[in-house]
Structure 1
Amino acid sequence: MRAVLIKDGQGPIENLYIGETDKPVPTRGEVLVKIVAFGINRLDHYQRQGSYPPPPGASSILGVEFSGRVAELGEGVTRWAVGDEVFGLVGGGAYAEFVNCDEGLLLKKPDHLSWVEAASIPECYITAYQALVKYGEVKKGDHVLVHAGASGVGIAAIQIARESGAATVTATASTTEKLNWLRSIPNGATHTVNYRTEDFAAEVKKMTNGKGVDVVIDFVGQSHWAKNIESLAIDGRMTMLATLSGSEVPSVDLSPILHKRLRIQGSTLRSRSLQYQTELIASSSFRDMIDKVTGANGGGPLRTYIHRVYPWTEIQSAHHEMADNKNSVKIIVEVQ
C-alpha cells in the first residue's frame, strides 16, 4: 500500500513523502480500514521530529485519527461488517491507504457527517471528554477556563463545558480574530482573554466575582502555571494535556494547592492501555456526547470545525500549516 513515510525515520517536514510499504493484516479483534481522510495533530509534529515515539506495538507511520470503510475483519470481530463506514482512533498508522484498528476504537460514521468531518472528531473530542468530564468532573454551574481555545481540543472542550451547563467558559488565545470567533460560534466561549496582553487570572476573578474557576484545561505548562493556580477556586481541578511552554516551573509555591484543596491531573490518551481507551469510548456518557456532534453548519449543540483540507500529495504543506501555527481548529488530509 501507499503511506506517508519519513525519510531516515525522523527529521524535518521535507522528509515526509508518499511511498510503498506493507499493507497491514488484521489480527484477532482488529479491523482493517481503507482510509478516506485523516486528521493532523500536534503529536504528529513531535513524532516526526523524533521526540514522541508511538506506543509499543503501534505502527511507526504517523496519524492517530481517521475516517474510512471497513475492508477486512480479523478473527473474532463481531461489531463490524465489510463496507461499514467508520471513524476511529489508533496509536499510529493513519497516514496511509489502510490502517488496522481495534474494533472497540471504531465508531459508526453518521450520515450527517462528511468523511472530512468524521476524521476531525476522534482525537479532539475523546481528549476533551477525558480532560473535562472524566478528570475535571465538570458539572452544571461550574466556571471553566480553557487554554489554547482555538485548537481542536480547545474548541471541543469549550462546547462540552457549555453543553454540560457551565455557568461561564473562558477561553484564552493570542489574537483578536480568534477570540471574537470563539465567542461567536454556537455554544462558544462566554468570555475570552488574550493571554499575551491580559492577565487571565485577574480576568477570571472578575468574571466569577472573586471565586475563581472550578476547572482549568491547560496545554501550556510552565508560563501559565502560577496564574492557573491563582485562577482556580477552592476545590478546583486542573487537567494538564501538554507543556508547550516548558515542563519545569522554578520556585513553585505549593501552599495554594494545599489551602485551596486543588486537584491537578496529568492526562495523556495515546499511551493509555487498549482496555482503558475502549472502555472510555464505550461509556454511555461519551456515546451520548458524540451523537450530538455535527459539522460546522449542522445545527448540533456540539460541532466540529475544519480549518483546511489538503490532498495527501501536499502533506508537507499541511505540516507546515500546523508547524507555523497558521490554523485554528483542524487540518484534515484526504487520501487520493
Structure 2
Amino acid sequence: RHCPMVSVMAPESMVGVLAEAGSAVVSEQIPVPTIAEDEVLIKVAGSAVNRLDTLQRKGAMPVPPGVTNVLGLECSGVIVAIGDKVAELGWSVGDQAMALVSGGGNAQYVAAPASLLMRIPRTLSLAEAGALPETWLTAFQLLYMVGGFTAGMTVLIHAAGSGVGLAATQLARAGGAGRIIATAGSASKLETAMAMGASHGINRHDNDGKWAAQVREVTDDRGVDLILDCIGASYWEQNAEAAALDSTWVLYGTMGGAAPEGPFLRGLMKKRIRLCATTLRTRPISYKAKLVKRFSEEALPGFEAPLDGKDPFRVIIDKAFPLSEIQAAHDYIERNASTGKISIQVDTDQLGAPASAAGGTCE
C-alpha cells in the first residue's frame, strides 16, 4: 500500500492523550515528535487501548526510561517523514504501515522505529490494522518465543476473550495445537473464542472457580502442555492442577494479583513446571525487531490466506471510540465487558478512505 505524495510538513503541535490524576486526558498542545535517523513519522489513522494503557493511566505501570508519556502502544497510518537510514529498509513517504510503539500511539502523529513497522494486509482496514500490533505480537511471542509452542501441544489460554487471548487462539489453531482450552468470564466471550478455534470453553465462574477439574477431564487427566496466563496469583493453584508434567506456564500479567498464597513453589516443583514471566514493552528494540520480522514472515500472511486450510486470521474489534472519548474507552475496557480490541479512531479521513488509500490515489 503506497500513496505517491510529497513529504508533509507536520504541525508543531498535535492532539494526543496523557495520563493526569488517574484520567486519560486529551490535550491539543503536545509537541509533534521529532524522528531519529532510523525512525519514521506516522500520521496516525487508527490506534487502540490496551490493558497496559489503563495501568499506566492509574500510575500502576511506570513509563520506561526514554519513552514518551503519551499513551498508546500501537497504530496504523501513513508515513509522512522518514529518517536518513530508513529508505534502505524499504520504507518511503506515502507508505501505509502499522507499528508497534512503546508509547505515543494515541495521538495524531507518532515516531516509530522503522524496524517495528509492518505492511498492512490487503484484507484489513486501517482501523483493524491499528488494533493489531501489540496484541498479535504479544500472542506470537508468548507462544513461540517464550512458550516453545509446537504442533500437537495442548494449550490453556486464560482471558480468551481478550485481544491477546483471541490472537493466541487463532495462532495456536493455525500452528496445529492438539487442543486449545479457553477460559473466560462469560458465555459470549467463550463463544467467540470457540469460533476462533478453541476446542473447549470453560467459564471461570463455574464450580466456584475450580475450573482445573474440567481441564483434567477434557485432557483425559493428562493436563496441558502450555499455559498462557495474564491472571497470576488467584489462578496459581488451579494452573498447577491443570498443568501436565514438564509443562510450561507463561505469565504475562497479574490481573488476579501478584502475591500467591500457599505452597506455590512446591506446586511448580511437583510437576516440574517451567515458569516463564515475560513482558514486551520493556524489551529492547533489537528483540522487538526480531519478533516483528518473524511474525511478518510466519503469521502475517495468515490474514490474507488461511495457514491451516480453515480461516484467515481476524482482528476482533468490540467497539470503536473517537480519540476525543479516550476516557470512555478506558472505562469500557476496565469493566471487563469487551471481547477483542477497543479501537481508537484518530484520523477519520484516513479511516474512511478505501482500503488502499490514504491521502491520494494509491497503488
TM-score with structure 2 setting the length: 0.86
Distance 1:203 1:280, change over 3 A: same
Distance 1:73 1:261, change over 3 A: same
Q: Deviations over 1:28-51 (max 9, x none)?
A: 101111100101101110111112
Matched residue type, 1:195: R
The answer to whether the Cα contact below 8 Å between 2:53 and 2:71 also exists between their aligned partners in 1 is yes
Matching of residue 288 in structure 1 with residue 268 in structure 2: no
Number of aligned positions between the proteins? 327
User: Corresponding residue for 1:137?
Assistant: 148
The answer to whether the Cα contact below 8 Å between 1:238 and 1:263 also exists between their aligned partners in 2 is yes
**How far 1:167 moved relative to its partner?**
1.2
Matching of residue 250 in structure 1 with residue 250 in structure 2: no
User: Corresponding residue for 1:109?
Assistant: 120
**How far 1:253 moved relative to its partner?**
4.3
Matching of residue 43 in structure 1 with residue 52 in structure 2: yes
Which residue among 196, 215, 218 is the counterpart of 2:205?
Answer: 196
**Which whole-Å CA distance do the structure 2 matches of 1:286 and 1:135 have between them?**
18
User: Corresponding residue for 2:22?
Assistant: 12
**Which whole-Å CA distance do the structure 2 matches of 1:112 and 1:54 have between them?**
34
Q: Deviations over 1:214-236 (max 9, x none)?
A: 00000111110011011111110
Matched residue type, 2:78: R
The answer to whether the Cα contact below 8 Å between 1:10 and 1:50 also exists between their aligned partners in 2 is no
Matching of residue 322 in structure 1 with residue 333 in structure 2: yes
Of structures 1 and 2, the one with the larger relative CO (CA 8 A, separation 6+) is 2
**Which whole-Å CA distance do the structure 2 matches of 1:43 and 1:251 have between them?**
28
The answer to whether the Cα contact below 8 Å between 1:305 and 1:329 also exists between their aligned partners in 2 is yes
**How far 1:286 moved relative to its partner?**
5.0
TM alignment of 1:223-302, pairs within 5 A: 223-283=234-294, 287-293=297-303, 300-302=311-313
Moved over 3 A (4+): none
Matching of residue 125 in structure 1 with residue 107 in structure 2: no
Please state whether the residue corresponding to 2:141 is helix, strand or coil. helix
**Which whole-Å CA distance do the structure 2 matches of 1:161 and 1:113 have between them?**
21
**Which whole-Å CA distance do the structure 2 matches of 1:239 and 1:329 have between them?**
20
Matched residue type, 1:38: S
Segments of structure 1 that go 5 or more residues without pairing to the other structure are: none
TM-score with structure 1 setting the length: 0.93
Matching of residue 3 in structure 1 with residue 12 in structure 2: no
**Which whole-Å CA distance do the structure 1 matches of 2:152 and 2:251 have between them?**
22
Q: Deviations over 1:115-171 (max 9, x none)?
A: 011111101111011111111111221111000000000001111111111111111
**Which whole-Å CA distance do the structure 2 matches of 1:205 and 1:286 have between them?**
35
Q: Deviations over 1:262-306 (max 9, x none)?
A: 1110010000011111111112x65221221269xxx84321111
**Which whole-Å CA distance do the structure 1 matches of 2:178 and 2:51 have between them?**
30
**Which whole-Å CA distance do the structure 1 matches of 2:342 and 2:167 have between them?**
15
**Which whole-Å CA distance do the structure 2 matches of 1:207 and 1:294 have between them?**
33
TM alignment of 1:81-100, pairs within 5 A: 81-100=92-111
Matched residue type, 2:153: D
**Which whole-Å CA distance do the structure 2 matches of 1:181 and 1:335 have between them?**
27
The answer to whether the Cα contact below 8 Å between 1:294 and 1:303 also exists between their aligned partners in 2 is no
The answer to whether the Cα contact below 8 Å between 1:129 and 1:286 also exists between their aligned partners in 2 is no
User: Corresponding residue for 2:31?
Assistant: 22
Distance 1:142 1:305, change over 3 A: same
The answer to whether the Cα contact below 8 Å between 2:74 and 2:99 also exists between their aligned partners in 1 is yes
Matching of residue 159 in structure 1 with residue 170 in structure 2: yes
Matched residue type, 1:287: E
Please state whether the residue corresponding to 1:116 is helix, strand or coil. helix
% identical equivalent positions: 34
Q: Deviations over 1:176-217 (max 9, x none)?
A: 22222322x2x4211011111133211111111110000000
**Which whole-Å CA distance do the structure 2 matches of 1:264 and 1:163 have between them?**
24
The answer to whether the Cα contact below 8 Å between 1:63 and 1:93 also exists between their aligned partners in 2 is yes
Which residue among 55, 76, 84 is the counterpart of 1:75?
Answer: 84
